[in-house]
Structure 1
């Protein structure tokens, strides 16, 4: 009898939480209903510890979201003493890959420059620089090394197989699908990072600051949030093929709530014919309803 009463009490305690999450999921389901796209969502509120997952087991192409994974792997080497953020890295002309989005290449088109490792990481994450990403892949020993590093963290449902150069090369449309994650795995990785279980305090704070300074995707997670809301995030975007299909429009990271608590959030949109503007609006709308929902709880 005592056990039964305890169970009833537990269910009564948890019922409001499930109802709250269900309410948020209903709102998000309405936002993505009828869209010509696969939408994967992962949200975790560190204040209430509520989790929401939609299409959590789908393999979603990451595109440049995987630069977050690369940054974690590089900073882990910094923490081991194998590298230093202040260490000067020589960037050759051949390191600037033609055809890739590369602010680093725009700043140093002829290469042959020595840059602090910290600057190369900033280019890769905050400005989504493809040349910087492939430079760091080479520094680590290739995509397989990053893949192995993430797997050792206990994040299994992720694959990092190809470089930016390979992924973005003309005629290589299907390569993007070899660099994938599930929304559940992405959310798990974000939580580990936030809980400071991957990097040292200094490396964690460095990457957080870089992500807050992200310049890409202003019309995604940040678009509809109150002015001044701090968002630390990483975007990912594919091109559009001849059939009008986009492989990926993504944004993942952390949203700061009014009381200073945070949400971890990942939104992946794949195989979509909605167009870039509509896809970005889906991400913005999801971020807004999540923000509004959890701001009331915190």
Structure 2
């Protein structure tokens, strides 16, 4: 088994000191297995990164033929996340309405819509259904317990949707390896979820921040709210295409 790159791991540590907070990093080259880490098993509040496993769970239902991307889902206004939490869907259909699975996934992943995420979580069997999907993938270190609406109402609940840097990378590895099909038997293995992650406008200063412009990055941010001047979490997980064609 490969050992982490000590030099790079130490460098992570010295950079992290400037953050004056808890920092977790897991960087892995998918093709070679080279990796470097900092606090890889420390738990962090997941925030909107949860939209990746939720969407993967729903895409698995699509791949299994239980749903299609055109399946319409009714959204009651009781499901809307509260004002102050990002949700273009709530603002567009204030009295509720219907959206397709495809629209919900795009809204959740590309523009990080909290309502879209909660509705998809319901479709996937709630927090328990998404957790069961993650467990079936063999990814440990990731806990899903609540909806966005629930942790908007109670500050402490956000920490119960938790993630480690290592589990985030393992999940992305599964996403990359299995690249969920758009429809059953679809040989194209359309990269629907990854495409939304490539196109997202969120977090330009995070993973993308110091990379050369135009570097392909499929990523999902997560941002906590502030209390007493402290942000509960600032996250970004993703896959960066390196100049030699490998993926980090």
Q: TM-score, normalised by structure 2?
A: 0.90
Establish whether residue 118 from structure 1 lines up as the match of residue 99 from structure 2.
no
> Please, which runs of 5 or more residues in structure 1 have no aligned partner?
1-13, 264-298
- Report matched runs for 1:229-240 at 5 Å: 229-240=215-226
Establish whether residue 143 from structure 1 lines up as the match of residue 127 from structure 2.
yes
Establish whether residue 75 from structure 1 lines up as the match of residue 59 from structure 2.
yes
- Number of equivalent positions: 242
Q: TM-score, normalised by structure 1?
A: 0.76
1:58-107 deviation digits (Å, cap 9, x = unpaired): 11110110110100100011011110012222333333333231012223
Correspondence for 2:175: 193
After TM superposition, the structure 1 stretch with the greater mean CA deviation from structure 2, 149-158 or 29-38, is 29-38
2:209 equivalent among 220, 223, 227: 223
Correspondence for 2:157: 175
Distance 1:210 1:102 in 2: 17
Deviation at 1:46, TM superposition (A): 2.1
- Report matched runs for 1:258-277 at 5 Å: 258-263=243-248
> Which of the two has higher C-alpha Rg?
1
Correspondence for 1:33: 17
Correspondence for 1:296: none
Correspondence for 1:56: 40
Distance 2:190 2:140 in 1: 22
- CA RMSD in angstroms, aligned pairs only: 2.0
Distance 1:97 1:25 in 2: 38
Distance 1:135 1:38 in 2: 31
Distance 2:189 2:236 in 1: 22
Establish whether residue 92 from structure 1 lines up as the match of residue 76 from structure 2.
yes
Distance 1:173 1:96, change over 3 A: closer
Distance 2:189 2:199 in 1: 15
Contact residue 79 and residue 203 of structure 1 kept, 8 A: no
- For 2:108, what is the secondary structure of its paired residue? helix
- For 2:6, what is the secondary structure of its paired residue? helix
Establish whether residue 205 from structure 1 lines up as the match of residue 191 from structure 2.
yes
Distance 1:185 1:97, change over 3 A: closer
- For 1:143, what is the secondary structure of its paired residue? helix
Correspondence for 1:162: 146
Which one has the bigger helix percentage? 1
Distance 1:105 1:118 in 2: 17
Contact residue 81 and residue 148 of structure 2 kept, 8 A: no
1:185-232 deviation digits (Å, cap 9, x = unpaired): 221111122122x73365661111011111211111112111111110
Correspondence for 2:5: 21
> Please, which runs of 5 or more residues in structure 2 have no aligned partner?
182-186
- For 1:195, what is the secondary structure of its paired residue? helix
